[in-house]
Structure 1
Amino acid sequence: MLAETICSAVSAAGLGIAAVTAYRKRFLTATRIAAYSLVPVGLVLTGVVKWLSDIAFKPSVWLGFGVLGLAWLLFMITRAIERRGGGSRKERRAAARAAQGEAVAPAASAPSLGAGSSPDTARPRRKPEKQSGSAGAGEDFSDIEAILKKHGI
């Protein structure tokens, strides 16, 4: 009941200010003020004010908002830790093992490997290249692969 009375008083005051503004021949501004002043009455008539006041004065609702805030905070903390690479040792070891595993296409990384690689990929077999296209197409891919490996992809 108190919230409805306050909203009605705010609307009445806003309409009064709109009337004074219109008297000063600032009709566009007066119309805008009148529109804003009718919003509280509209909220009262639709029942939004009653619903909000019921929520605002219940401690259990505020406790729920607190729990949601705590959950959000925990999610953000774990995300920040993951981004800095501070996951558990077990997760880092598993990621390292997965990175050392066999590639899907082992021959694809052969041009980027140097002399210190395994014997079967130390000397990649060269196929005769056709001179019609770009001669350095394999070199382009090796640069891309080196960049991807640098970033752990």
Structure 2
Amino acid sequence: MIAETVCSAVAVAGLGIAAVNAYRRRFLTAARIAAYSLVPLGLVMTGVIDWLADTAFSPTAWAGFGVLGLAWVLFATTRAVERRRGGTRKERRAAAAAQRDAVAPQATAPSLGPSTRGASKPRSAPRGDGEDFSDIEAILKKHGI
């Protein structure tokens, strides 16, 4: 009797925490916490203590299996969404920072000096067709490219 009460209280508390996370628009975290909090409720509903005697013919036990199945579906769904998004927010930020740091600021400057292969002249003026690329250059500089 005490074990069922404690497990039910833990489940209710976990669902409350999940509701707070959902209110804060952390839906994946809320779904995962809800899944964790449904596990003790499902175990209580399956009647783990009276497993051998009552499980086969108890509608409450089968409802508990349904709740456990729901918890499993929530786990699988949140994991699939997390993989589709490319990991957690921290991992995405770290990957973005590493990508920004990987590009050298002077990558556009020639590293070997003037070319000795061909007789091509460097262009100092825009092309003859009258196009001005200063706005594009400003956008590229803004993004660090």
Q: TM-score range by the shorter chain?
A: 0.3 to 0.5
If asked which structure has higher relative contact order (CA below 8 Å, sep 6+), I would say 2
Report the TM-score, using the length of structure 2 for normalisation.
0.34
User: Greater share of helix residues, 1 or 2?
Assistant: 1
Q: Which of 1 and 2 has greater Rg?
A: 1
